[in-house]
A and B are shown apart, each in its own frame.
Chain A
């Protein structure tokens, strides 16, 4: 770094950590690292951030960075919440109030835009 110099041991480690991040050469830079959950990385182990970030249980990628072959591919997250585990904060209650919420959405990958908001 040109403008900032690491002085103590922790600062040196922060700098090293920054260098190991791809993209800008710094951790959390504006160009590259805002969204990391499903990126395929060049090197090192990659642990995707799962439902803690987006409330999507079962977010995973396989060893090649793909999703389609997994038990809960990302394309189906919405339906996993909606039908599978019913995550009440994220999706309407399809048992009581919004049974038809996804009826216009035949294929999630293509039709997800058709799913509308539900107003009480």
Chain B
């Protein structure tokens, strides 16, 4: 072998120790001092094993360096400097890849008029006001969807059915009947269904809460924080804020419903960026089990779009919450920061993604008329339709989608160490921002790398001091939120 050079990995430190996040395999390794010194010495200056041994002779005996080189070669952290970089091949999953989650858009109507909404706001992609799609999904279409879900789930024993909208609970009648039908079919087919829904909480009447509790329906509440945050954008059609309406209803729900625990989902905007304050309010004051944050999906230049320093501000607060999460994890306490929790699971498993998410593959969104789209955010869009629950998935369209969206084709991502976890980011975000789902979301690359680095550090700390905490992530599959 000629000279040795560094291969692709991202080094990070936790508890004063050195770790490597391997790219693109996503393996996480702890490296000791001799190995670390080998890597440091090779950084930017390839050398032969003999030169390396000599360069480190004052610190490490030759046999130690030789062993370290051997082990680093084994995990491909170093290699022949002339070897080409590892490339992801555009291999697409088999056509009978099982469906894990079906998101059913039971209505495209909403009783709120949140200004930033991707479904009704300035950046909407489907005409939800005057379009041809029915406002509500019929019982029949919902039943056909359930049949479609079980068929597409293939050999999977568990299927996840998520009700979505518009405001999901506007079609409570169909929800109830669909759940019963899905349960019946599951028994006949020897399968299990897990139900969940997302709601704005305005319609959480006592009977609805009763139903959610009785049927163990996982609930995610879209809420932006304390009154001033919530009322900024989450308003009724007359402009009135929704906080005073939803707050007592959420409290009632949280009092009764903890199986599975209820989560909050916050949309961050330029105007609503006090992450810490929102988190405190939703966990301590309201009692949510977990809180997930997502920056608003928007085209460039919108009034509420987070820009420049906003991302840094958000990152600093995410890091603060991550620190809290870490402290809690080291003492086996729960902390509700779900962004970190989810990423830790992905790091623990070593997920290396060919696609940023399961859209169009393990997850689909179903529009009110039964059209199947990539995900709930594209439900009803003809451009992003890949079939219908009545006629099944159009395999040719699906293959074409997967072929063109594979990470192997996202050349912008090929030198980024965070690609195993990010894989270019949300298709819908890309479509809104750049007009095409194939484009990686380059506007938040720096943010993603910084945040991923923070998550890796937390992972390293927990792995060092309380590895048992990570056992919770050993489970085979997670239920998508």
Given known A-B contacts A8-B350, A27-B74, A3 and B28 have beta carbons under 8 A apart: no
A13–B22 CA distance with the chains assembled, in angstroms: 13
A25–B72 CA distance with the chains assembled, in angstroms: 12
A4–B31 CA distance with the chains assembled, in angstroms: 5
B34 within 8 A of A: yes
| Chain A residues whose C-beta falls within 8 Å of the C-beta of B29 in the assembled complex | 4-7, 11
B:311-350 near A, CB below 8 Å: 347-350
Question: Could you tell me if B31 and A3 are in contact, using CB atoms closer than 8 angstroms?
Answer: yes
Q: What is the number of contacts between chain A and chain B, taking CB atoms within 8 Å?
A: 94
**CB-contact partner of B350 in A4, A5, A10, A30, under 8 A:** A10
Given known A-B contacts A3-B67, A24-B74, A10 and B79 have beta carbons under 8 A apart: no
**CB-contact partner of A4 in B35, B348, B351, under 8 A:** B35
B249 within 8 A of A: no
| Chain A residues whose C-beta falls within 8 Å of the C-beta of B460 in the assembled complex | 7
B:19-49 near A, CB below 8 Å: 19, 22, 25-32, 34-35, 49
Question: Could you tell me if B22 and A4 are in contact, using CB atoms closer than 8 angstroms?
Answer: no
A:69-85 near B, CB below 8 Å: none
B203 within 8 A of A: no
Question: Could you tell me if B22 and A14 are in contact, using CB atoms closer than 8 angstroms?
Answer: yes
Question: Could you tell me if A8 and B347 are in contact, using CB atoms closer than 8 angstroms?
Answer: yes
Question: Could you tell me if A4 and B463 are in contact, using CB atoms closer than 8 angstroms?
Answer: no
A30–B474 CA distance with the chains assembled, in angstroms: 34
Question: Could you tell me if B350 and A25 are in contact, using CB atoms closer than 8 angstroms?
Answer: no
B76 within 8 A of A: yes
Given known A-B contacts A24-B74, A30-B1, A11 and B31 have beta carbons under 8 A apart: no
Q: Count residues of chain B with CB under 8 A from any CB of chain A.
A: 35
Given known A-B contacts A13-B350, A30-B1, A6 and B71 have beta carbons under 8 A apart: no
**CB-contact partner of A8 in B74, B76, B348, under 8 A:** B348
B438 within 8 A of A: no
Question: Could you tell me if A26 and B34 are in contact, using CB atoms closer than 8 angstroms?
Answer: no
Question: Could you tell me if A5 and B70 are in contact, using CB atoms closer than 8 angstroms?
Answer: no
| Chain B residues whose C-beta falls within 8 Å of the C-beta of A8 in the assembled complex | 26-28, 347-350, 459, 463
Q: Please tell me the size bucket of the interface on A.
A: 20 to 34
| Chain B residues whose C-beta falls within 8 Å of the C-beta of A13 in the assembled complex | 27, 350
Question: Could you tell me if A11 and B74 are in contact, using CB atoms closer than 8 angstroms?
Answer: no
B:53-72 near A, CB below 8 Å: 64, 67-68, 70-72
Question: Could you tell me if A28 and B350 are in contact, using CB atoms closer than 8 angstroms?
Answer: no
A22 within 8 A of B: no
Question: Could you tell me if A7 and B28 are in contact, using CB atoms closer than 8 angstroms?
Answer: yes
Question: Could you tell me if B348 and A9 are in contact, using CB atoms closer than 8 angstroms?
Answer: yes
Question: Could you tell me if B31 and A28 are in contact, using CB atoms closer than 8 angstroms?
Answer: no
Question: Could you tell me if A28 and B79 are in contact, using CB atoms closer than 8 angstroms?
Answer: yes
Given known A-B contacts A11-B27, A11-B29, A14-B25, A28 and B349 have beta carbons under 8 A apart: no
Question: Could you tell me if A26 and B74 are in contact, using CB atoms closer than 8 angstroms?
Answer: yes
A31–B352 CA distance with the chains assembled, in angstroms: 29
Question: Could you tell me if A9 and B474 are in contact, using CB atoms closer than 8 angstroms?
Answer: yes
**Nearest Cβ distance between residue B13 and chain A, in whole angstroms?**
13
A18 within 8 A of B: yes
Question: Could you tell me if A26 and B70 are in contact, using CB atoms closer than 8 angstroms?
Answer: yes
**Nearest Cβ distance between residue A119 and chain B, in whole angstroms?**
27
- Among residues of B, the one whose C-beta sits closest to the C-beta of A29 is B73
A9–B25 CA distance with the chains assembled, in angstroms: 11
| Chain A residues whose C-beta falls within 8 Å of the C-beta of B349 in the assembled complex | 8-10
A:1-58 near B, CB below 8 Å: 1-11, 13-15, 18, 24-30, 34
A8–B75 CA distance with the chains assembled, in angstroms: 13
Question: Could you tell me if B73 and A11 are in contact, using CB atoms closer than 8 angstroms?
Answer: no
A26–B75 CA distance with the chains assembled, in angstroms: 8
| Chain A residues whose C-beta falls within 8 Å of the C-beta of B32 in the assembled complex | 2-4
Question: Could you tell me if B30 and A7 are in contact, using CB atoms closer than 8 angstroms?
Answer: yes
| Chain B residues whose C-beta falls within 8 Å of the C-beta of A15 in the assembled complex | 75
A30–B463 CA distance with the chains assembled, in angstroms: 31
Question: Could you tell me if A24 and B27 are in contact, using CB atoms closer than 8 angstroms?
Answer: no
| Chain B residues whose C-beta falls within 8 Å of the C-beta of A25 in the assembled complex | 74
| Chain B residues whose C-beta falls within 8 Å of the C-beta of A34 in the assembled complex | 1
**CB-contact partner of B25 in A4, A5, A10, A28, under 8 A:** A10
**CB-contact partner of B27 in A1, A2, A10, under 8 A:** A10
A-B pairs, 5 with minimum CB distance:
A10-B350, A26-B74, A11-B27, A8-B28, A7-B28
A sample of 28 cross-chain residue pairs with beta-carbon separation below 8 angstroms, ordered by A number, consists of A2-B67, A3-B34, A3-B68, A3-B71, A3-B72, A4-B75, A6-B28, A6-B29, A7-B19, A7-B460, A7-B463, A8-B26, A8-B27, A8-B28, A9-B350, A10-B350, A10-B351, A10-B352, A11-B28, A11-B350, A13-B350, A14-B22, A14-B75, A26-B73, A26-B75, A27-B76, A28-B76, A29-B73
